[in-house]
Structure 1
Amino acid sequence: MAKLKTKVKEYRENAGMKQSELAELIGVRRETIVHLENGRYNPSLKMGMDIAKAFHTTVEELFEFED
């Protein structure tokens, strides 16, 4: 089964943003961001697009599946 790999933490830290700030920006709880960054949560397409928009990048740049 393919696992979702994310660069959300990298982008968030490079932006100098706290998990709580990203969570508020996209309308989720901070815990959701924690689980997402730790690979324990697969975001919806809308959430992925909201995160990509927040960092001015693409969903494909932030997320990829690895075998």
Structure 2
Amino acid sequence: MENRIRSEREARSWTQVVLAAHLEVSRQTVVALETGKYDPSLPLAFRIAKVFDKPIEGIFFPEGRSLVVKDAAID
């Protein structure tokens, strides 16, 4: 499974330590999540999605299938 955790974290200018605090996990867990060495439990996946205010499908997707995010047009 691939994810957008790192890009979402960086978009907010958060360090791995800050994200870990929001998720109540260790920084090492954040590193493992971002590098794809650890797939989160379902409860943790829901917490990650909530922290980033995105649906789970907006954060996680199957390997080899990049997620195309379409932004609404800004008037």
The letter of the residue matching 2:32 is: H
Is 1:23 paired with 2:20? yes
Higher-strand-fraction structure: 1
Indicate the structure (1 or 2) with the bigger Cα radius of gyration.
2
Percent identical among aligned pairs is 36
Structure 2 unaligned spans of 5+: 65-75
* SS of corresponding position for 1:66: coil
TM-score by length of 1: 0.90
TM-score by length of 2: 0.81
Q: Count residues in correspondence.
A: 64
**Cα separation, 2, equivalents of 1:22 and 1:11:** 10
Moved over 3 A (4+): none
**Cα separation, 1, equivalents of 2:56 and 2:15:** 20
Higher-helix-fraction structure: 1
Is 1:41 paired with 2:71? no
- Which structure carries more relative contact order (alpha carbon 8 Å, separation 6+)? 1
The letter of the residue matching 1:63 is: F
Structure 1 unaligned spans of 5+: none
Taking only aligned residues, the RMSD between alpha carbons, in angstroms, comes to: 0.9
